[in-house]
Structure 1
């Protein structure tokens, strides 16, 4: 069995193969971006849950101290300590030390 292909047919075949490879690579990049976005979204939800849990713990301790204990020093500590922790965390979170980590092809470092 012999195939008689013209130059145009061979070039068209290579063009189709090239197009398939390019579409496949673009799809894999898009899937990678979607996975990274999903991971970032999960981190935000996880962080929000931890923040709400800690806030509830702080409010609970403060409520017990305010309603059950008559010591003014303990009252000041119970009200000031969460503020100090929140100030520290917010300062760390809002201080930009690095503008993200850009990925390089081949995993090389600068």
Structure 2
């Protein structure tokens, strides 16, 4: 089911080409530091990348599978709502990093 997803009980959706559909884990606004201090969304100091979970991938995606955590720039995103839930649609080339247990430590990764 790497290229098809069923959002809730709705119609199946197939992503095309190199698209990746992700869901941000948790609220986008506030975040916590490693020490547990709450940092409000209005306290942005520098440009910050975001982590999300891939829920579906297109047939031409080479280095991401469903369930991987991906790092992307939240300013370069397209938001979509499917059956009442918010998702973000990205191109594979807009993903900066992939975190998954299947990734080997010795590999250098795929250069896009």
TM (normalized to structure 1)? Answer: 0.21
Larger radius of gyration: 1
- Which fold has the larger relative contact order, with Cα–Cα distance below 8 Å and residues 6 or more apart in sequence? 2
- Larger strand proportion of the pair: 2
